[in-house]
């Protein structure tokens, strides 16, 4: 599986996120939780132990008072294209890159819960199930039947709504086609975003909106210098927002508070 | 090899040690993980027929069009038609199962108590005005000589044709209007946001003007003075130069500013309601503002808290009540006015019952949408429209149908069918089909209706003053209001990340928190002149020094009005 990410992929799904259009409403976060049967927080959960496959972070330009400016950056699994650190460290082969889609998948059935992948992920986009999944009485009726809830003790993360990909694939096959229509496959966060800040599509299709946005001058990727080839492309017209994508220089880690 | 006890132990020990060099124990670990997959405590999602239902979100007057994905008739996810949804609307199908939901109440006892009181000093407080139920309340109050109290905002804005918008503290891009209307319009206008905190709207604005907390009205007066030629404000100059412009805000000066900008009657219009039967209008009690009611004049107060996004602090209501007043609240949650009420009666909530939606703040044209139920309501819930109707001898069971008949009779506007996406002129639709489409997911709108300017208040504009309170050194900044009941999944935003301020929290600048000896997550007491409230503290450098950013829980709203003087001390 690991070697297959070196091959040419049939599709290379990715996102383009316009940071300037994100108002931090959190719709993407709750839409993701609804779609993927992520439970509400345990009473003891914190921002370090919670389960948020996509999390919107507020960043600022480091200035105070009237000069302060903020932006919201939705952070999810970056679906690294090359040498995904989580793939190489997993002792259980519970993480792989799907050669058909380029999606970095996580198989909770294989996961041992060692959390090496969480340590290895430079984006902190993986989450561990510290507690049994629990919903208020009756709310389990609202679970999505296309996604199995995960058990305590395993790691989980964004998979570009794999259930939706399966549904789109089934629909395509039923119609006698081979290629998924872009309109049939859209992750829940993309569909939910009220400002249209998140776009999704095949980066291998150079005519797709997401591929065109990825080529724009103001487009950037997080920690691009470490060479993981992430498939989440951000863009902003503000230079200080683009600068947040670079790793902090040694000794400067806490300069922004 | 000689068979001895020693050799048997050596062989067994060697076998155990050797086993670790075989795949067997490692495979066992994997299998253990596999077995854990079928723990009985993990819920199994129900499978079945997948269907789509359509409705309008009933959580606020924006009334976004909704497509619900249902499995065996039970909604498992909601999506917006023609755009995204706010996080509250996306998770509304969880609300019937909320642990804080009010499910029981003494309906018969409350009915008997209200009847025993008689009709003298009777009033209904409608926190979600503009609906058909509101007409029933008004008719009932007219019949019973009672008062109909509402907080309706008479103004609607058309942002589709403006080039510059100055928002003074309004959460324009954060729940103020319909996302599918506001965000497409946003691409065409320059947004200037003036407020104390860099809010979610300010982040997306073209220009953010940081104001000192509590000085929003002073700022509005400065803009007004500039438009009148008595002051200089660069923003007012921008509004004049880059018109058409509009100003949105709560300050009383905003109406006059819009009139001087030429927006009054064009992009600022009277909020238009859909047609209602003539007989209703003739029989309806007038809308009374709570503040104009004499003190100690209400003996029986009935409160409609259904889908209420607005909350009136109890200290504004309490003086209007007699000492022995009977307060009956029709509520979905154990928060809100339940703490102050004599009786709290449970109600059906969206998406359980059929209700219509009042006109939205960003809808300049008359529209009518029904929030059609997606799931059946629980047994033994009360309904204020039927309760008040029964007191007055008015039938309230078929009022939505009657309203639809009145709209159809007028024959104006178009009908949108969400299931098919078709838009049809109303005069081409039969009355039965009109009702069927509306009750299964649709909307009526009349974009050709004449727009009327709102009435301008004749109250004199007095200079704004920010007072001082040495014992309460902080000024409060309020989080925008949110629905009274929200999904348990909102913990993703409140607890598992710090994206939104939880309703029971306050946020302080690190310097203020340090001075008060409070750390992030600490339990504290919020004090104001109106009282005290237990809160939790978030430390956030985005909060301006000298202020406290407060959540929107009813407990906090009861004691903390916007720009109230406050202090936070450790609990």
* CA dihedral angle for residue B81, residue B82, residue B83, residue B87, rounded to 10 degrees: -20
Write the residue in B36, B87, B495 that is nearest to A25 by C-beta. B87
Per-residue pLDDT at B107 exceeds 50 = yes
Q: What is residue B59's predicted lDDT score, i.e. its pLDDT?
A: 92
DSSP string, A152-181: TT-EE---S-HHHHHHHHHHHHHTT-SSPP
A254 pLDDT band, cuts 50/70/90, is very low
Average pLDDT of span B344-352: 94
Per-residue pLDDT, B1? 64
* Cβ contacts of B456 within 8 Å, gap of 6 or more: B255, B256, B259, B264
pLDDT in the model for residue B464: 60
DSSP calls for B88-144: HHHTGGGGGG-TTB-----HHHHHHHHHHH-STTEEEEESS-SSHHHHHHHHHHHHH
The mean pLDDT value for B343-347 works out to 95
Nearest to A74 by CA among A2, A25, A142: A25
pLDDT at A190: 97
Q: What is the pLDDT of residues B35-50, one digit of tens each?
A: 655 667 788 899 999 9
- B459 versus A153: the higher-pLDDT residue is A153
Report the Cα B151 to chain-centroid distance in Å.
Answer: 14
SS3 A38: coil
Report long-range pairs for B112-120 (Cβ below 8 Å, ≥24 apart): B113/B326, B113/B328, B113/B342, B113/B343, B114/B300, B114/B302, B114/B326, B114/B328, B114/B387, B114/B391, B115/B391, B117/B299, B117/B300, B117/B326, B119/B144, B119/B145, B119/B146, B119/B391, B120/B299
> Does the distance separating the beta carbons of A257 and B45 come in below 8 Å?
no
Q: Given this model, what pLDDT does residue A53 score?
A: 97
Chain A interface, mutation test: which of B69, B72, B84, most A Cβ atoms within 10 Å? Answer: B84
Structure confidence at residue B311 as a pLDDT band (50, 70, 90): confident
What radius of gyration do chain A's Cα atoms show? Answer: 18
Global ipTM: 0.92
b/e map B292-321, b = 16+ CB within 10 Å: ebeeeebbbbbbbbbbbbbbbbbeebeebb
What local confidence, expressed as pLDDT, does residue B460 receive? 63
pLDDT of residue A3: 45
Interface check for B497 against chain A (CB to CB < 8 A): the answer is: yes
d(CA B372, CA B352): 8
Distance CA B200, CA B182 (A): 14
Residues B213-246: pLDDT tens digits? 888 999 999 999 999 887 778 888 889 899 899 9
Best mutation target among B499, B542, B549 (most A Cβ atoms within 10 Å) is B499
Q: Cα–Cα–Cα angle for A123, A125, A127, nearest 5°? A: 140
Contact list in A for residue B497 (CB cut-off 8 A) is 26, 29, 47, 50, 52, 55-57
Q: Do A194 and B183 touch (CB under 8 A)?
A: yes
A&B contacts, CB < 8 Å:
207
The encoded tokens of residue B447 equal 């974009």
The pLDDT tens digits of the residues spanning B371-393 come to 999 999 988 899 999 999 999 99
Could you tell me the pLDDT band of residue B418, with boundaries at 50, 70 and 90?
Answer: very high
Chain B hits for A132, CB-CB cut-off 8 Å, are: 39, 41-42
Question: What is the average per-residue pLDDT within A79-102?
Answer: 93
CB-CB contact of B52 with B65 (8 Å): no
- Mean pLDDT score across all residues of chain B: 91
pLDDT of residue A62: 87
Q: Is B213 part of the contact surface with chain A (CB cutoff 8 Å)?
A: no
Distance CA B428, CA A253 (A): 67
- Average model confidence (pLDDT) for chain A? 91
Instruction: Report whether pLDDT(B68) > 90.
Output: yes
Interface probe, candidates A139, A164, A197, chain B, greatest B C-beta count within 10 A: A139
> Coil, strand or helix: which one is B456?
coil
At residue A233, the 3 state secondary structure works out as strand
B317 within 8 A of B125, measured Cβ to Cβ? yes
Counting residues of chain B whose pLDDT is more than 70, the rounded percentage is 95
pLDDT surpassing 60 at residue B154: yes
B484 sits in which H/E element: none
Q: Is residue B140 within 8 Å of residue B231, measured between CB atoms?
A: no
Q: In what order do the strands lie in the sheet with A232-235?
A: A198-202, A13-18, A232-235, A219-220
Q: Is B183 on the interface with A (CB under 8 A)?
A: yes
Chain A contact present for B296, CB below 8 A: no
List of chain B residues whose C-beta atoms are within 8 Å of the C-beta of residue A148: 45
Helix (H) or strand (E) holding B293: none
Strand order in the sheet with B122-126: B287-288, B147-150, B122-126, B298-304, B321-331, B343-346
pLDDT of amino acid A6: 47
Chain A positions touching B495 (Cβ under 8 A) are: 41, 45-47, 50
pLDDT tens-place string over residues B486-504: 999 999 999 999 899 999 9
Q: Which residue has the higher pLDDT, A32 or B451?
A: A32
pLDDT at residue B495, as a whole number? 93
For the stretch A146-170, pLDDT in tens is 999 998 889 999 999 999 999 999 9
CA dist A25 to A29, A242, B534, Å? 9, 21, 26
Of all residues in chain A, the one with the smallest CA distance to B87 is: A27
* B334: pLDDT strictly greater than 70: yes
pTM: 0.91
Q: Is A68 in Cβ contact with B33 (below 8 Å)?
A: no
pLDDT at B306: 83
B2 or B249, which is more confident: B249
- What DSSP string describes B496-540? SS-SS--TTEEEE-HHHHHHTT--TT-EEEEEETTEEEEEEEEE-
3-state secondary structure of A33: helix
Q: Do A149 and B179 touch (CB under 8 A)?
A: no
Q: Which residue of A has its CA nearest to B207?
A: A69
What residues 526-545 of chain B have any CB closer than 8 A to a CB of chain A? 541-542, 544
- What was the pLDDT predicted at A256? 42
* Integer-rounded Cα radius of gyration of chain B: 28
Phi, psi torsion values for B264, nearest 5 degrees: -65, 120
Q: Is 90 exceeded by the pLDDT of residue B254?
A: yes
């Amino acid at each position: 599986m690991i070697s297959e990410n070196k091959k040419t992929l049939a599709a290379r799904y990715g996102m383009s996120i316009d940071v300037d259009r994100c108002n931090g409403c959190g719709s993407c976060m709750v839409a993701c939780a609804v779609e993927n049967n992520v439970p509400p927080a345990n009473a003891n959960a914190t921002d370090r132990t919670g389960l948020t496959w996509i999390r919107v972070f507020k960043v600022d330009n480091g200035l105070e008072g009237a000069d302060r400016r903020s932006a919201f950056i939705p952070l999810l699994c970056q679906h690294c294209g090359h040498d995904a650190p989580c793939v190489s460290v997993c002792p259980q082969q519970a993480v792989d890159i799907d050669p058909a889609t380029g999606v970095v998948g996580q198989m909770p059935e294989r996961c041992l819960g060692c959390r090496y992948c969480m340590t290895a992920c430079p984006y902190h986009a993986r989450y561990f199930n510290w507690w049994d999944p629990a919903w208020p009485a009756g709310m389990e009726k609202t679970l999505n039947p296309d996604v199995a809830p995960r058990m305590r003790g395993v790691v989980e993360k964004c998979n570009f709504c794999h259930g939706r990909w399966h549904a789109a694939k089934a629909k395509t096959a039923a119609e006698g086609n081979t290629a998924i229509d872009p309109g049939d496959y859209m992750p829940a966060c993309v569909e939910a975003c009220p400002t249209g800040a998140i776009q999704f599509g095949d980066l291998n299709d150079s005519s797709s909106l997401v591929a065109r946005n990825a080529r724009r001058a103001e487009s950037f990727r997080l920690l691009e210098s470490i060479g993981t080839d992430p498939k989440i492309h951000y863009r902003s017209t503000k230079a200080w927002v683009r600068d947040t994508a670079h790793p902090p220089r040694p000794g400067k880690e806490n300069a922004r508070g | 090899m000689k068979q001895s006890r020693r050799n048997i132990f050596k062989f067994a020990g060697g076998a155990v040690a050797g086993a670790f060099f075989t795949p067997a124990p490692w495979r066992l670990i994997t299998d253990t993980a596999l077995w854990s997959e079928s723990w009985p405590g993990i819920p199994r999602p129900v499978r079945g027929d997948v269907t789509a239902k359509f409705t309008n979100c009933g959580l606020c007057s924006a009334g976004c069009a909704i497509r619900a994905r249902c499995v065996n008739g039970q909604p498992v996810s909601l999506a917006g038609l023609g755009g995204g949804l706010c996080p509250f609307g996306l998770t509304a199908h969880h609300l019937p199962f909320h642990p804080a939901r009010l499910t029981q109440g003494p309906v018969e006892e409350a009915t008997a108590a209200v009847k025993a009181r008689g009709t003298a000093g009777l009033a209904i407080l409608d926190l979600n005005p503009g609906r058909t139920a509101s007409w029933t309340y008004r008719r009932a109050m007219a019949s019973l000589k009672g008062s109909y109290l509402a907080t309706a905002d008479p103004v609607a804005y058309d942002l589709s044709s403006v080039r510059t918008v100055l928002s003074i503290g309004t959460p324009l891009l954060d729940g103020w209007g319909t996302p599918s209307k506001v965000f497409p319009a946003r691409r065409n206008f320059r947004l200037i946001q003036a407020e104390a905190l860099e809010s979610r709207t300010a982040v997306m604005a073209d220009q953010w003007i940081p104001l000192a907390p509590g000085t929003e009205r002073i700022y509005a007066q400065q803009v007004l003075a500039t438009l009148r030629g008595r002051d200089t404000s660069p923003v007012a100059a921008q509004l004049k130069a880059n018109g058409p412009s509009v100003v949105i805000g709560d300050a009383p000066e905003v109406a006059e500013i819009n009139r001087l900008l030429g927006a009054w009657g064009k992009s600022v219009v009277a909020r238009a309601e859909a047609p209602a039967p003539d007989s209703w209008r003739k029989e309806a009690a007038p809308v009374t503002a709570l503040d104009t009611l004499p003190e100690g004049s209400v003996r029986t107060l009935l409160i409609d808290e259904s889908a209420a996004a607005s909350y009136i602090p109890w200290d504004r209501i309490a003086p209007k009540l007699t000492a022995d007043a009977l307060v009956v609240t029709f509520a979905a949650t154990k928060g809100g006015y339940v703490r102050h009420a004599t009786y709290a009666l449970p109600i059906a909530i969206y998406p359980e019952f059929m209700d219509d939606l009042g006109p939205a703040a960003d809808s300049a044209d008359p529209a009518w949408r029904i929030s059609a139920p997606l799931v059946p309501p629980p047994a033994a819930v009360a309904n204020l429209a039927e309760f008040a109707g029964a007191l007055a001898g008015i039938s309230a069971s078929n009022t939505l149908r009657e309203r639809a008949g009145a709209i159809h009779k007028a024959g104006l506007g178009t009908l949108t069918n969400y299931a098919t996406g078709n838009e049809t002129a109303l005069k081409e639709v039969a009355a039965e089909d009109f009702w069927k489409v509306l009750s299964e997911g649709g909307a009526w709108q009349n974009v050709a209706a004449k727009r009327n300017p709102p009435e301008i208040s004749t109250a004199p504009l007095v200079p704004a003053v920010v007072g001082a309170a040495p014992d309460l050194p902080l000024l409060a900044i309020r989080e925008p209001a949110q629905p009274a009941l929200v999904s348990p999944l909102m913990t993703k935003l409140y607890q598992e990340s710090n994206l939104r301020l939880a309703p029971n929290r306050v946020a302080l600048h690190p310097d203020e928190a340090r001075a008060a000896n409070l750390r992030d997550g600490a339990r504290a007491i919020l004090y104001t002149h109106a009282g005290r409230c237990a809160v939790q503290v978030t430390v956030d450098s985005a909060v301006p020094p000298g202020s406290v950013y407060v959540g929107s829980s009813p407990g906090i709203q009861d004691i903390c009005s916007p720009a109230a003087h406050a202090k936070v001390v450790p609990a």
